[in-house]
Chains A and B, each alone.
Chain A
């Protein structure tokens, strides 16, 4: 028995508007950019809903209806769920319809798509709890498998997830960690007993997510039968973990690339061979025994050629701003001011720090990353003024800052 484990990640941050030192202390609407600006969350959300979520979900629902064996897993952050509720209830409904088929599993994560695990265990747990409740409320499921922001992962995280009761956890199938081993099996994290580890097959995943529409790629055009054939050639494998951003469909790969047709044909081609299945992340863990233990003392992620957190925390602007933000934790939480606490949490979303990344900027390859700001410095200045406003609000309440 072999399984394709398709897992898609859905996320939108609350982008910070052009927010100056002159706004600081006067207005607290950092996340409320004018509709016609690049940082308008409402505008971006509506555009992504129209270009990606609605057409992709319509296709996925059709595939689910036509192929009783087709299954997939989704992670959807709290910040995007909120925005869908506000600005595209029809797109939210389309996600709910997918889940109603009983063949779509929701994966656990932090509500705010944050890096809190690396800064505050209690804040991290709170955000995981908030996400769990949101998923229960909107989808009627309780997540069984955990993924941390950007698939960041280390042994400590696996041990935390085990004691928190998760049956599985996801990360990147990164070669220096796997060494000679293949990502196409279930593993056991070092220092754990019951929890299982699923590792992304980044070659196959990136064939779809990044290379699909590339006419210069030697394998272009990628067809479903070719892709199914590649997988069937690995005779010992049990599970092919195809993990990617949901926005691959309709945003990164446009409809004209044929990516939707590929998705529609894949179940048919894959099911032609006896024993070939689709499984959600939980099912693959239930069905396959772990073949080995994987030891990850250093944090890995699914990002960049480095597969580390350097895109979020690699320069001094990022390190200084995130450290300053988490240093406010005790005071913020003790205010019991839910609006202030929520603003502070929205500032934790990892995208804010990603926008401050200079490693592409220095190469002049600014198109390689997606940011509403012209420069990483602009991102930093807007963020810091929002941070200062949070500090200001604390001070107004009589806190020592």
Chain B
């Protein structure tokens, strides 16, 4: 398995999806070696985790999130900062060196950062490769253009792959549209959530202000995620303006950071709803969980979301969800509100409906929770394991 991150050293959904998938797969009669571009303690015992350090590199130090530059410490003690593109090149060479003396039945690689390494292994070892697409470049860039260097890797690798896994139908459609990969080579395997893995809320909610305001008739809309173009926050704020006009006692809790942070603060004030919108910056742990729990509605207004785990987490903490139809999760989740990301009026309409009706809020939340409880990564690993068997013959 070739991957870029694992929790707790993850910056987003990719690391969690890899972790949960492997944990479920480990119950099958297979051995997994997970090769990462950095070394760290993950506290994982159900598979082997190996760091693929490039030749001459003593240590790779992560900075900030997974998509920033990392600091590489060379064996002679010198240091250098390497950007994401340079890192995936180094990873390719390191993986090639690492696999020289090893045997695999199948290589399963996650997202473009590991695709060149997968191609290299296929070339060296002639083993089948399965490429797992959690997002394509047009999702991440928020446009059809994207970075041509990244698109080149994605296109080349997806054509050369023995099999492609897409995390949603919309991701499969995007792969076909963007790269012309034959549809019958792409399998849709939706992500999931492991209900039992959710850390329970405890004690007082960390948002004291919101707790009191709710007791006074206010209602809270939450969004948790990176403040970046793909996530569609400006549309949520424009809808918020319309909601506040109808239901002034609505507060919006925006948890996260990103390059749109200041732009969104300005926008909230330009729209005249500054006092109603609370920006908290990036949060972890209790403050992250409590943000889900305090919400009367979780909104994921993404412009393009290959899957989108956060609405399921919100549901797990008792909040109903409104998701954009441009998300993979909207393909599997039934008991939630759905809206096109560009339809600000309808988004406002649906948010206002929940703000004004606790009955609607509670029935949405309860029914969604029943769906949530039935979700498991075991069904995901069943599908993936079937694919392994098709391509590697009988798994060991």
Contact = CB atoms under 8 A, between A and B. Distances in A.
29 contacts: A20-B280, A21-B209, A22-B208, A24-B209, A25-B208, A25-B209, A25-B211, A25-B212, A315-B269, A316-B269, A316-B272, A316-B274, A317-B265, A317-B274, A320-B272, A320-B275, A321-B275, A380-B265, A384-B278, A385-B209, A387-B275, A388-B209, A388-B275, A388-B278, A389-B209, A392-B213, A395-B213, A396-B212, A401-B213
B207 interface: yes
Contacts of A377: 261-262, 265
A395 B274 contact: no
B212 A384 contact: no
Interface of B: 206-213, 216, 261-262, 265-266, 269-270, 272, 274-275, 278-280, 287
A120 interface: no
A22 B269 contact: no
Given A25-B208, A317-B269, A320-B269, A401 B261 contact: no
B265 A395 contact: no
A381 interface: yes
Contacts of B210: 21
A24 B211 CA distance: 11
Interface of A: 20-22, 24-26, 315-317, 319-321, 324, 375, 377, 380-381, 384-385, 387-389, 392, 395-396, 400-401
Given A21-B210, A321-B274, A387-B275, 11 more contacts: A25-B209, A25-B212, A316-B266, A317-B265, A317-B274, A324-B275, A375-B262, A385-B209, A389-B209, A392-B208, A392-B209
10 smallest beta-carbon distances between A and B, as pairs = A25-B208, A316-B269, A320-B274, A24-B209, A25-B209, A320-B269, A324-B275, A316-B270, A317-B269, A377-B262
B212 A395 contact: yes
Among A21, A324, A381, A400, residue most surrounded by chain B Cβ atoms (within 10 Å): A21
Contacts of A320: 269, 272, 274-275
B212 A21 contact: no
Q: Report whether over half of chain A's contact residues are helix, strand or loop; otherwise say mixed.
A: helix
Nearest to B210: A21
A375 B262 CA distance: 10
B208 A395 contact: no
Contacts of B274: 316-317, 320-321, 324, 384
Contacts of B265: 317, 377, 380-381
Contact of B208 (A26, A317, A400): A26
Contacts of B278: 21, 384, 388
B268 to A, nearest CB: 8
Nearest to B280: A21
Contacts of A400: 216
A21 B291 CA distance: 11
Among B207, B208, B209, B262, residue most surrounded by chain A Cβ atoms (within 10 Å): B209
Contacts of A384: 274-275, 278
B279 A319 contact: no
Nearest to B253: A21
A24 B209 CA distance: 6
Contacts of B287: 22
A316 to B, nearest CB: 4
Contact of A21 (B207, B270, B275): B207
